Structure 1
Amino acid sequence: MSHMTFRTPAPEVKSAGPEVSAAFEEFMGAFEAFKDANDQRLGELERRGVDVVTADKVERINAALDNQKALIDELVLKARRPGLGGRADMVSDLAAREHKAAFDAYVRLGEASGLKRIEAKAMSAGVGADGGYVVPSETEREIGKRLTALSPIRAIADVRVISGGTYKKPFMTSGPAVGWVAEAAARPQTTSPVLAELAFPAMELYAMPAATQTLLDDAAVNLDEWLAIEVEAAFASQEGAAFVIGDGVNKPKGFLSYASVDESAWAWGSLGFIATGAAGDFPAANPSDPLVDLVYALKAGYRQNGSFVMNRRTQGAVRKLKDENGQYLWTPPTAPGAQPSLLGFPVHEAEEMPAIAAGSLSIAFGDFRRGYLVVDRAGVRVLRDPYSAKPYVLFYTTKRVGGGVQDFDAIKLLKFAA
């Protein structure tokens, strides 16, 4: 019995690493051993019958080939996955680890030479004792994540990170005139769109947590997390107030600081409100009607992403309201961490919202993602001060943040007035 032996071509592996190459060499060696053993088996079969030892050897090598091929497939698939940035990512990761190590030495020991060297390489202008040093990016992300969890307006607003001092945004308040026209009819000239430039300067916000040297000497303490926890409450409290009632002087401008007008007279640059019809209260008859009117004062394109904003006392009053069928308008959260809902829309608590009183704007409803903009300047800076409050070490931590209304048609207010 004759047979032919075919040479198996080696598969092409682009950019094969050493692991893939070594596995493939082992695979080819196993395949050669398999061919030799199988040739022996076929020869024995032609002569007198296959020896049990030979047959077992062929099966073992065959199984080893399957395992080796599976390993190659896995390694090739891994090698073909696109990297996150190749060498640039490796360099970025090394730089991040260098920055973290230098910042850790600065916080624990006051050793600033590493940070000076890093910021000198980055050609940063605001270094040294006057301005402090920029925290590592992971620390900045941790602070931002915690602020989003604690600051109700930041959680639902549009957030932009900028590198300069002011973010300027053009906004089209009215588009060009359009209309239908016959095929051969004259095309009248359309009016030009009206643009408004909105400017959002980033103001400085600071916190000054304190630590003992014993805490800083403890290697088990994660300083990134400690710093984020210490500044989160102070930053969130100040931000929460500014985004709602800030006057725009050295702080963001809150949406309640803009002019408010009756919805029937609404114009760009002001927020429209719906009156409840009763000073400092919901109306005695059909008390839920003002809430329904507030929801439908918002255009459909905004309403689908709408949220209510009010403080807990106002929410307590709203929680008592029922519809005409006796069903409560307020619905509790469906899961831990979820928001309660009112008329099917989520409710966010902002303690800076005014309590219900005569003429108060105690409830806001709108698409805050489109309506309110939070501007964060990249970089959180820390200045270590071991002298002012000995034996404690103070960490003067600053970030720059701004904010304001970017679409005046996206937020409506409920005014408790006749």
Structure 2
Amino acid sequence: MFKKLLELRQQKAAKVAEMRALLDNAEKEGKELTEEEKGKFDTLKELVQKMSEEIERYETVADEERSQVGKPAETRSKQFTNEELRHYIKTGELRSTLSTTTGEDGGYTVIPQLDTEVMKRLTDDSVMRQICNVVRLPVGAKEYKKLVSAGGAVVEHGQEGVARNGTNAPKLNEVTIALNPIFAYPKTTQEILDFSSIDVLGWLTDEISESFTETEESDLTLGDGDKKSKGLLAYTRSTDGDKTRTFGQLQKMEVASADKITADNLIDLFYMLHSKYRKNAVWVMSSTIAAMLQKLKNKNGDFIWRDGLTADAPATLLGRPVHFLETLPASGANKPVLAFGDFKRGYFIVDHETGVRTRPDNITEPGFYKVHTDKYLGGGVVDSNAIKLIETLA
């Protein structure tokens, strides 16, 4: 299944590369596509569309089977006991019902129960996971690729009985998001495992989730892309508009300092975002910035900030939800202190099918049991028109 899916993706990428070559050659020579080239482009476009449909069918089946990989039907809903997990940490011995992976980096165990609990906690605790689009790559895939249209398609009006000329095809840009491992190393003493009634699953979930959440939030916001995700703030920023800005750059509004942000600035930023993104847009800022903005009023003297109507409902600013992301700066020269946009379309988080993997270690530190735990993580901007920032000059 996954081999076929990978082959289809590779074939699709090759066809898209041919389409790109046709457009690049025409652009380089300063001319439009010839009729022959237009015909070839349309043929490739049709093939890509068919491949996309076939890939979607395979992905649908893969999604349904994903949670079943490596588990016999009769044990798919089995909850592993505390004693089974305690035995695994102390001895490293694998039960037949635990999913195992023995890749080139050594033998790991994937405990579905732990993987589910950790990923649920990450989703609950991570602001970026709540607001961004999360995709999961199958086994064998090391990076996520997506073609993004940069516009340029021309639509013309036709008339019955009149020949129709070809129109310009849209310009496509490829976005690649690489996966990198992150890890945690929770440990406990031999005495606690031997004599206490410790909830092993709960202990592992708490320790791993806390470490992963902190690392993910930092990487997805501030990561430089070197052996880690490329965070939101690592992308080049420009004051140019969507139609003139270089693909991949984020648009910014510059203000003197964080305490100089006005209601008018926020209104202007709101409408800098194209209407197709505004309907699902959210505000993202640190608590420090939120404390400043809560005091802002419009020209009629009304507060533009609204607290949530129920206990867990988010506050709103100009009618859109507010999320508190503490890894965003609160001040500093050339620092983005606030973001507004449709993060589901703008920023993708990439997980891997292997999930949360564990490997016990009772050798390197006598008297302690440690559990080396890791997972793959990728992140990057996909649609740079979907997110706007306010950046301070001082």
TM-score (norm 2): 0.74
Q: 1:327 Cα shift?
A: 1.9
Q: 1:296 Cα shift?
A: 0.8
Partner of 1:416: 392
Question: 2:372 is matched with which residue: 391, 396, 401?
Answer: 396
Question: Alignment length, in residue pairs?
Answer: 323
Partner of 1:282: 260
Deviations 1:244-267 (A, max 9, x none): 111111111111111111143433
User: Secondary structure of 2:169's partner?
Assistant: coil
Cα 1:312–1:98 change in 2 (3 A) is: closer
Cα 1:185–1:214 change in 2 (3 A) is: same
Question: In percent, how many aligned pairs have the same letter?
Answer: 32
Gaps in structure 2 of 5+ consecutive residues: 1-63
**Contact between 2:186 and 2:371, CA under 8 Å: does it hold in 1?**
yes
Partner of 2:318: 343
**Contact between 1:131 and 1:383, CA under 8 Å: does it hold in 2?**
no
Is residue 131 of structure 1 aligned with residue 110 of structure 2? no
Cα 1:372–1:106 change in 2 (3 A) is: farther
Residue identity matched to 1:112: E
Which structure's CA Rg is the greater one? 1
**Contact between 1:131 and 1:381, CA under 8 Å: does it hold in 2?**
no
Q: 1:330 Cα shift?
A: 1.8
Q: 1:92 Cα shift?
A: 2.6
Q: 1:101 Cα shift?
A: 8.6
**Contact between 1:280 and 1:360, CA under 8 Å: does it hold in 2?**
no
Residue identity matched to 1:97: K
Partner of 1:307: 282
Question: 2:237 is matched with which residue: 245, 253, 260?
Answer: 260
- Separation in 2, partners of 1:103, 1:293: 58
Residue identity matched to 1:341: T
1:24-35 map, 5 Å:
none
1:151-230 map, 5 Å:
151-163=126-138, 164-174=141-151, 176-217=153-194, 220-230=197-207
Q: 1:118 Cα shift?
A: 5.6
- Separation in 1, partners of 2:248, 2:99: 45
Partner of 1:329: 304
Q: 1:103 Cα shift?
A: 6.3
Partner of 2:209: 232
- Separation in 2, partners of 1:319, 1:355: 15
Residue identity matched to 1:107: Y
Question: 1:247 is matched with which residue: 224, 233, 238?
Answer: 224
Q: 1:226 Cα shift?
A: 1.9
**Contact between 2:132 and 2:343, CA under 8 Å: does it hold in 1?**
yes
Deviations 1:182-220 (A, max 9, x none): 223331211122222211111100111111234334685
**Contact between 2:362 and 2:369, CA under 8 Å: does it hold in 1?**
yes
Is residue 269 of structure 1 aligned with residue 248 of structure 2? yes
1:371-382 map, 5 Å:
371-378=346-353, 379-382=355-358
- Separation in 1, partners of 2:84, 2:378: 26
Moved more, 242-251 or 192-201: 192-201
- Separation in 2, partners of 1:376, 1:413: 26
User: Secondary structure of 1:114's partner?
Assistant: coil
Question: 2:75 is matched with which residue: 89, 94, 101?
Answer: 94
Partner of 1:112: 93
Q: 1:410 Cα shift?
A: 0.7
Q: 1:115 Cα shift?
A: 5.6
- Separation in 2, partners of 1:380, 1:151: 16
Deviations 1:62-120 (A, max 9, x none): xxxxxxxxxxxxxxxxxxxxxx99xx99943425639879962553431424369964x
- Separation in 2, partners of 1:100, 1:170: 45
Deviations 1:279-319 (A, max 9, x none): 55426xxx211100111111111101111111111111111
- Separation in 1, partners of 2:331, 2:198: 45
Residue identity matched to 2:131: I
Cα 1:413–1:117 change in 2 (3 A) is: closer
User: Secondary structure of 2:388's partner?
Assistant: strand
- Separation in 2, partners of 1:203, 1:229: 22
Residue identity matched to 1:146: R
- Separation in 1, partners of 2:125, 2:178: 23
